[in-house]
Amino acid sequence: QVQQSGSELKKPGASVRVSCKASGYTFTTFAIHWVRQAPGQGLEWMGWIDTNTGRPTYAQGFTGRFVFSLDTSVSATYLQINTLQAEDTAIYYCAREYRWNYRQYFDYWGQGTLVTVSS
Amino acid sequence: QSVLTQPPSVSEAPRQRVTISCSGSRSNIGNHAVNWYQQLPGKAPKLLIYYDDLLPSGVSDRFSGSKSGTSASLAISGLQSEDEADYYCATWDDRVNGVIFGGGTKLTVL
């Protein structure tokens, strides 16, 4: 249902774009959230993008260098990270949000994209 | 440090029952539904329990969820080796206006 792009190896200071392509449903019906998992650590919510309006919302700690965008023509959302730092090394997941009556959960997750930042 | 508190690890023998707790506050668990995710080693998280105590299609009924006040629990009965995984509780938080995850609990089946 959501398929992510492959692993990336980048140098500090570079940028990376991770894609998350949806299939099997009407893309604009469900929001997409992004979750980070640093090596050996837990899940950390990064924010979400309204696939109907394109409006992104960023969690604290993910403003400035992190950008969510989408291309409805190909049912894809993107996470771009600018000015990469070693601490950005992590697996990044996209997840589809099901929401009803103010309650929500992530019903489909991408397989994850490993971003490694190393000189 | 996560807003939702889970034990870092639990362990139990096969065929036994184990519970994993998730403690929060009024702004999160006390006001919103709790979801649980299972992350098998090297895999993406998977929805295990939603809306406090509902099982998605295809999830074994050995898993169950409950919530009381500002705490939630995940119970796994009839433990099997394939249940070894990290388990995360998650919910919405009104203070951060977003989703929060517990720190995760590593389950070991002895």
Q: In this predicted structure, what is the pLDDT of residue A102? A: 80
pLDDT per residue as tens digits for the range A44-92: 999 999 999 999 999 999 999 999 999 999 999 999 999 999 999 999 9
Amino acid in the structure at residue A117: V
Amino acid in the structure at residue B82: E
pLDDT per residue as tens digits for the range B69-84: 999 999 999 999 999 9
* Contacting A residues, span 18-37, partner chain B, CB-CB under 8 Å: 33, 35
> How large is the greatest C-alpha to C-alpha distance in chain B, in angstroms?
40
pLDDT per residue as tens digits for the range B3-43: 899 999 999 999 999 999 999 999 999 999 999 999 999 99
User: What's the average model confidence in pLDDT over B44-64?
Assistant: 97
Half-sphere exposure of residue A110: CA atoms within 13 angstroms, side-chain side: 30
* Contacting B residues, span 47-106, partner chain A, CB-CB under 8 Å: 47, 50-51, 56, 86, 88, 90, 92, 96-104
Cβ within 8 Å, pair B47-A105: yes
The Cα of B79 is separated from the nearest Cα of chain A by a number of Å equal to: 23
Task: Give dist(CA A16, CA A11) in Å, integer.
Answer: 10
Sign of the C-alpha dihedral computed for residues A90, B49, B102 and A60 taken in this order: positive
Cβ within 8 Å, pair B44-A93: yes
